[in-house]
């Protein structure tokens, strides 16, 4: 007994392995993005407290922490950054897998915060990296962090990345 092509098309999905692996990667990123956190101050501590307690992650908002940038979907800046740290962060950002998403947590990462007048403190990360989501505060509370993470996940589902937009502008 042979099946008609019409019936076969309805019962069996055929695709290339490359297409299937791309689809699988997008689906896994939607449900649990890999995060590369970077922070030196209160905001990074607030991030750790918010996403590593059983209270706030009961609705599956957590994400595993990774050490290798090549495996990360999202880089999170929390705290002020100095001019000496910029080349290191640029290298780490360059090693993130594409497309790249970046979230800025707190006033220091957004504008330099309390240390903005310091001679070696950068006045915000947006001059050096395409930031997708800003979470305001000094430091932002757990609710703001969860909301920011929810927004970045929505952007990931829709494949909206500031880095991708910058790449498209560079090609024009």
Helix (H, G, I), strand (E, B) or coil at 168: helix
Structural domains in the chain, CATH included, are 37-171 (3.40.50.12280)
- Give whole-number Cα distances, 101 to 8, 63, 73, 84, 98, in Å: 40, 14, 6, 23, 9
Q: Which range among 25-39, 41-55, 115-129 has the greatest average pLDDT? A: 115-129
**pLDDT for the residue 131:** 92
Share of the chain above pLDDT 70, in %: 67
pTM of the model: 0.70
Query: What are 43-86's pLDDT values in tens digits?
Result: 777 767 776 654 444 445 555 454 688 888 888 888 888 899 89
**In the chain, what is the greatest distance between 2 CA atoms, to the nearest angstrom?**
80
**pLDDT for the residue 3:** 57
């Amino acid at each position: 007994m042979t099946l008609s092509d019409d019936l076969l098309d309805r019962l069996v999905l055929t695709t290339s392995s490359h297409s299937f692996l791309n689809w699988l990667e997008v689906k896994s990123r939607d449900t649990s993005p890999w995060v590369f956190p970077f922070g030196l101050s209160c905001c990074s501590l607030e991030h750790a407290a918010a996403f590593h307690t059983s209270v706030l992650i009961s609705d599956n908002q957590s994400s595993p922490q990774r050490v290798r940038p090549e495996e990360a979907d999202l880089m999170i800046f929390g705290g002020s950054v100095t001019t000496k740290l910029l080349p290191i962060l640029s290298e780490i950002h360059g090693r993130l897998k594409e497309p790249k998403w970046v979230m800025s947590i707190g006033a220091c990462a957004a504008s330099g915060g309390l240390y903005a007048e310091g001679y070696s403190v950068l006045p915000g990360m947006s001059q050096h990296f395409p930031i997708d989501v800003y979470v305001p505060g000094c430091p932002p509370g757990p609710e703001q962090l969860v909301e920011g993470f929810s927004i970045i996940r929505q952007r990931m589902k829709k494949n909206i990345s500031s880095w991708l937009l910058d790449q498209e502008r560079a090609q024009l």
